[in-house]
């Protein structure tokens, strides 16, 4: 674990010195928006690490939700982690300027379908039951492979399956959760965590200041260097202020707009959870702390007390050296 964590940090700097990865130093952020597809796999899928997944079985989690509601809740939570962060006007510690949000989109798919929003650059995170490879981890993804703060362009092919979220492994912690909100947190925190790795985030050395419900951030792990207790996983965690600053440098910003409700691929109903306690990042005058605002069902958007995003996601990773860029994994 110590070597993996070291590699995770080392690779972020080392990739910038590699000439063959198709990146350009000192050029501006891409003007277009990139999309991450949260692919709830419907059949055998293999990521760039040759880790295999197949259709998830969510029964061990104890959800009172059906599959479309789980998918919608996960999407809303991820949106909130990346797009619902408090701005400087609401939280003096925030690196996010007023009226801005990250230049990134998220959708749900079930068969590696292209995003419906028309973005030409998009990547998949496979979500399902582990079939081959890395069965001891909760998830994994390539380190700094999509964006880095001081470079532009990805180091992996467009439309790649960048990593996997192993739902059967995460289910081993289901006993910690007594509500559907906590169960969504277990799942989504791993998803946000692994996406964070692809955008150059690494495991923190311990608790870090953040606007979430835990002193630990979404990038924390239960092993070194963070040593986060498992009980923190069911909380509504957030990226630290430092981590979000890295995301800003990596992805760039756009003018903020109300976060759309679940934008979904073919066959996925446009709905949001109506009856469970998934909390949103509150961007109002509460100092940027998250407040318990319940998502309400709407056919085409997420309704919040503030006109912004909804949800939570994240996971813990451990870096693995692969594809010349390393990777991040959760356990």
Phi, psi of 105 (to 5 degrees): -130, 160
Q: What's residue 259's pLDDT?
A: 60
pLDDT at 47 over 90: yes
273-280 mean pLDDT? 38
Label the pairing between strands 104-109 and 34-40.
parallel
Q: What is the pLDDT confidence band of residue 330, given thresholds at 50, 70 and 90?
A: low
**Pairwise CA distance, residues 6 & 319, whole Å:** 8
| DSSP SS3 for 1 | coil
Least confident of 89-103, 159-173, 220-234, 292-306: 292-306
- Angle at which helix 67-83 crosses helix 180-198, to 10 degrees, equals 50
pLDDT of residue 257: 82
pLDDT beyond 70 at 280:
no
**CB distance 179 to 65 below 8 Å:** no
Q: Taking the chain, what is the end-to-end CA distance rounded to the nearest angstrom?
A: 10
CA distances from 316 to 17, 122, 225, 269, 312 (A): 27, 23, 11, 30, 14
170 or 134, which is more confident? 170
Backbone angles phi, psi at 71, to 5 degrees: -65, -45
- Is the pLDDT at 59 greater than 90? The verdict is yes
Question: What confidence tier does 152 reach under pLDDT thresholds 50, 70, 90?
Answer: low
- Identify the helix (H) or strand (E) that includes residue 68: helix 67-83
Q: Is 104 within 8 Å of 251 (Cβ atoms)?
A: yes
CA atoms of 220 and 87, how far apart (whole Å): 22
Using CA atoms, how far apart are residues 218 and 239, in angstroms rounded to an integer? 5
pLDDT at residue 322, as a whole number: 22
**pLDDT of the residue at 19:** 23
pLDDT range class, residue 151, cuts 50, 70, 90: confident
Q: How many CB atoms lie within 10 A of CB 287?
A: 12
At residue 147, does pLDDT exceed 60? Answer: yes
Mean pLDDT of the residues in the chain: 75
> pLDDT band at 302, cuts 50/70/90?
very low
Q: The pTM is what?
A: 0.76
- Rg for the chain, CA atoms, rounded: 18
Mean pLDDT of 312-323: 25
Q: Which of residues 29 and 272 earns the better pLDDT score?
A: 29
What is the Cα–Cα distance from 8 to 142, expressed in whole angstroms?
9
Judge whether 125 and 163 are in contact, CB under 8 Å: yes
Token representation of residue 295: 């998502």
Confidence of residue 325 (pLDDT cuts 50, 70, 90): very low
Residues of the chain with pLDDT > 70, as a percent, come to: 68
**Is 5 a residue whose pLDDT tops 70?**
no
Identify whether the C-beta of residue 77 lies closer than 8 Å to the C-beta of residue 185: yes
**CA atoms of 139 and 4, how far apart (whole Å):** 14
105 neighbors 330 (Cβ within 8 angstroms): no
Is residue 141 within 8 Å of residue 125, measured between CB atoms? yes
Q: What is the mean pLDDT of residues 17-38?
A: 51
Is the predicted pLDDT of residue 270 greater than 80, yes or no? no
> What tens digit of pLDDT does each residue of 184-224 get?
999 999 999 999 999 999 999 999 999 999 999 999 999 99
**pLDDT for residue 328 is more than 80:** no
Stronger pLDDT, 322 or 222, i.e. the higher one: 222
More confident residue, 160 or 309: 160
Q: Which pLDDT band holds residue 153 (cuts at 50, 70, 90)?
A: confident
**What's the rounded Cα separation, in Å, for the pair 50 and 38?**
18
- pLDDT at residue 195, as a whole number: 98
More confident residue, 137 or 241: 241
Looking at 102-111, 120-129, 143-152, 302-311, which range is the least confident one?
A: 302-311
pLDDT the model gives residue 329: 59
Please state the domain extents for the chain: 2-18+31-330
35 or 319, greater pLDDT: 35
């Amino acid at each position: 674990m110590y070597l993996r964590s070291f590699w995770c940090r080392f690779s972020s700097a080392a990739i910038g010195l590699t000439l063959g990865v198709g990146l350009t130093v000192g050029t501006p952020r891409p003007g277009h928006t990139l999309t991450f597809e949260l692919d709830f796999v419907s059949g055998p899928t293999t990521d760039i690490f040759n880790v295999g997944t197949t259709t998830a079985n969510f029964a061990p989690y104890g959800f009172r939700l059906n599959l479309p509601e789980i998918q919608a809740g996960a999407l809303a939570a991820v949106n909130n982690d990346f797009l619902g962060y408090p701005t400087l006007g609401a939280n003096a510690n925030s690196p996010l300027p007023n009226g801005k949000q990250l230049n990134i989109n998220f959708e749900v798919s079930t068969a590696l379908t292209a995003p419906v929003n028309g973005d030409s650059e998009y990547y998949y995170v496979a979500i399902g039951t582990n079939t081959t490879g890395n069965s001891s981890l909760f998830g994994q993804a390539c380190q700094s492979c999509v964006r880095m703060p001081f470079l532009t362009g990805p180091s992996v092919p467009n439309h790649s399956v960048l990593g996997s979220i192993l739902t059967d492994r995460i289910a081993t912690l289901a006993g910690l959760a007594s509500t559907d909100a906590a169960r969504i947190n277990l799942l989504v925190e791993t998803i946000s965590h692994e996406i964070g790795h692809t955008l150059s985030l690494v495991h923190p050395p311990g608790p870090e200041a953040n606007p979430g419900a835990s002193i630990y951030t979404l990038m924390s792990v239960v092993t070194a260097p963070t040593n986060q207790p498992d009980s923190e996983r069911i909380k509504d965690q957030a990226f630290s202020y430092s981590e979000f600053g890295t995301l800003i440098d990596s992805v760039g910003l756009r003018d903020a707009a109300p976060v759309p409700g679940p934008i979904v691929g073919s066959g996925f109903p446009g709905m949001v959870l109506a009856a469970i306690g998934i909390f949103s990042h509150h961007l109002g005058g509460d100092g940027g702390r998250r407040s318990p605002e319940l998502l309400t069902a709407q056919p085409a958007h997420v309704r919040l007390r503030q006109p912004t995003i909804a949800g939570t996601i994240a996971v813990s990773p451990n870096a693995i050296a692969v594809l010349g860029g390393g990777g991040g994994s959760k356990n």
